[in-house]
Amino acid sequence: MRRRNTVLQRKQLTWLCCSIFMIAGLLFGVVQLDRWIRPDVLAVCAQECQSAASVQIGESIHKVLQETDSQYTDFAVLLYDTDGAVTAVETKTTQINRMQAQLLTQINQDLQAVRAETFPVSLGTATGIWLFAGKGPTLSMKMLPIGTAKVQLISQLESVGINQTCHTIRADVTITLQAAAPFTELQQLHSFPIS
């Protein structure tokens, strides 16, 4: 009886040790797999987030410009001398601030709507081996805007030739994004011409 209990205890101990080694091996394998595919998944996530954000911001700016029907003269006034030559550009800060606030509101609303969108990353692409690119089952990633976008309208004079200058007003939009998995943070600056 005692011998049978000892044999049974040895079998249980052996089974427990094997189970622990199998679980440890599985965890080690998962960690190694994560280390192997994480850089490629991060690169794909960064590219997808940048692409989606650029499209969304461009659409938001286009929507605001169409709704307000803004023209160059809404933001700046050219001052001429007696000969009809342009001597200065005077910006209308009230109009620029109003446009900046409208753009900020619209971009933030539209980026919040993007939260529902997902993009696929195939496991073949995640391995980083070019033979497997685009193949295999896909991981579903989500883009998460973090905080709010920052919009700044920039007025800029550039020389475009002899005695010629070009005045432009552009929107610099800075956003911070994160992919839902593997939780990587991306900060992006997008610049769009307004007039």
Q: What is the tens place of the pLDDT at every residue in 104-163?
A: 888 888 877 776 667 777 777 777 777 777 788 887 777 676 666 788 888 877 777 777
> Could you tell me what percent of the chain has a pLDDT over 90?
3
Instruction: Check if the beta carbon of residue 94 is closer than 8 Å to that of residue 75.
Output: no
CA distances to 42, 53, 120, 187 from 178, in Å: 10, 11, 15, 9
> Which tokens belong to 174?
């800075």
Give the global pTM. Answer: 0.64
Using the predicted structure, report yes or no on whether residue 167 has a pLDDT greater than 70: yes
Q: What pLDDT band is residue 23 in, cutting at 50, 70 and 90? A: very high
- Count the Cβ atoms, other than its own, within 10 Å of residue 38: 13
* Sequence-ordered list of residues with C-beta below 8 angstroms from that of 45, at least 6 positions apart, any chain: 121, 141, 179, 182, 184
pLDDT digits (tens, 9 = 90+) for 42-59: 777 777 777 777 888 888
Q: Which residues of 152-172 are buried (b: 16+ CB within 10 A; e: fewer)?
A: ebebeeeeeeeeeeebebebe
Q: What secondary structure does DSSP assign to 112-135, as a single string? A: HHGGG-EEEEEHHHHHT-GGGTT-
Give me the pLDDT at residue 22, please: 92
Q: What pLDDT band is residue 39 in, cutting at 50, 70 and 90? A: confident
Give me the pLDDT at residue 191, please: 66
